[in-house]
Amino acid sequence: MEKEYIILCDESDKKGPFFSNFYGGVIVGGSNWKSVSDLLETSKRKAGITSEVKWSKVGPYEVERYKVLVEKFFDLIHDGKIRMRVMFRQNIHQAVNLTQEHAKNEYFLLYYQFLKHGFGLAHMPHHPDGVRLRFYLDQLPDQSKEKLAQFRGYISGLSQNAYIRKVGLSISEEDIAEVDSKKHVLLQCADVVLGSISFRLNEKHRSIPAGMKRRGKRTIAKEHLYKYILSHIRRVTGKNSFNIGISTGLSSDLQSQWSDPYLHWRFVPKDHVYDKKQTKGHKKSPI
């Protein structure tokens, strides 16, 4: 059994016309950490990629190079070396009964939910000798030191959850770190996959620059890469009609929350109303 796991997380659009609050991350066992990172770095070099990989950089020049890295990334998911999780919120589900404090801390509250539930920590195999969990979070938005410390405290407090404690998981505040994605190729891959999902769900593939009649070359390139990513998501999940706008079903029982190679989670607040004004039939796509 692994003695430690590392979760690397990124976030994308905080607010989109149809979907918002995108979070994505990968989990890797400590014994695979170096070999996985080395394989992805090798793929970058073979593809001729010499700088940080980011969804925002995708254009006609990058798309074929990025496809080489994306394929290797999903090969690792398929082979069980890493697992990926994605969470987002659909705007039609509007939370109600929120305090001003809830609204103010939306980013961290949703991030916490993703870290707590998105990776199925409560359903991991029992580790009788204990297992360490580290979090590498892409640089968080500017916040007070007090708020950041509070957030780390909440995350480390997960190890006190009865279900998570039962599997032998331990989390220390010193194991929760903000990192530079330039130094972590796994975070770069997560950024590209997460960015592609936000791009498509918010219909940015339809975007036409002001004063133009057709889509730009970068938009077309991004749509091409998104479709390539979707084909690999369908490959590793075995879902040929995979719908990226809803939660993915589990392959078997609750333990699949931990073991499934790739999962989507459309977060729906417990107390919410359905706002049909937020549907695509009532709103125009971004231009």
How many Å apart are CA 112 and CA 161, to the nearest integer?
Answer: 13
Phi and psi at 2, nearest 5°, equal -65, 145
Structure token pair of residue 168: 């032998």
pTM greater than the 0.95 cutoff: no
Instruction: Identify the H or E element spanning 20.
Output: strand 19-29
pLDDT at 211: 77
Contact 263, 257 (CB under 8 A): yes
d(CA 250, CA 263): 8
pLDDT for position 117 = 93
Per-residue pLDDT at 287:
45
Distance between alpha carbon 166 and the CA centroid of its chain, in Å? Answer: 26
Write down the pLDDT at residue 282. 60
Strand 82-90 relative to strand 262-267, pairing: parallel
Distance CA 178, CA 171 (A): 15
* C-alpha–C-alpha distance, residues 70 and 74, integer Å: 6
CA atoms within 13 A on the CB side of 258: 13
Q: Do residues 24 and 85 make contact, with C-beta atoms less than 8 angstroms apart?
A: yes
Q: Which of 193, 179, 173 is nearest to 76 (CA)?
A: 193
Listed in sequence order, the residues at least 6 apart from 49 whose beta carbon sits closer than 8 Å to its beta carbon are 62, 65, 66, 69
pLDDT at 51: 95
User: Rg for the chain (alpha carbons), in Å?
Assistant: 19
Going by the DSSP 8-state scheme, the letter that residue 274 receives in this structure is E
Per-residue pLDDT of the chain (287 residues; tens, 9 = 90+): 899 999 999 988 888 899 999 999 999 999 999 999 999 999 999 999 999 999 999 999 999 999 999 999 999 999 999 999 999 999 888 777 767 777 777 888 899 999 999 999 999 999 989 999 999 999 887 667 788 888 889 999 998 999 899 999 999 999 999 999 999 999 999 999 999 999 999 999 988 878 788 899 999 999 999 999 999 999 999 999 899 999 988 788 889 999 999 999 998 877 767 766 666 666 655 54
Report phi then psi at 6, rounded to 5.
-120, 130
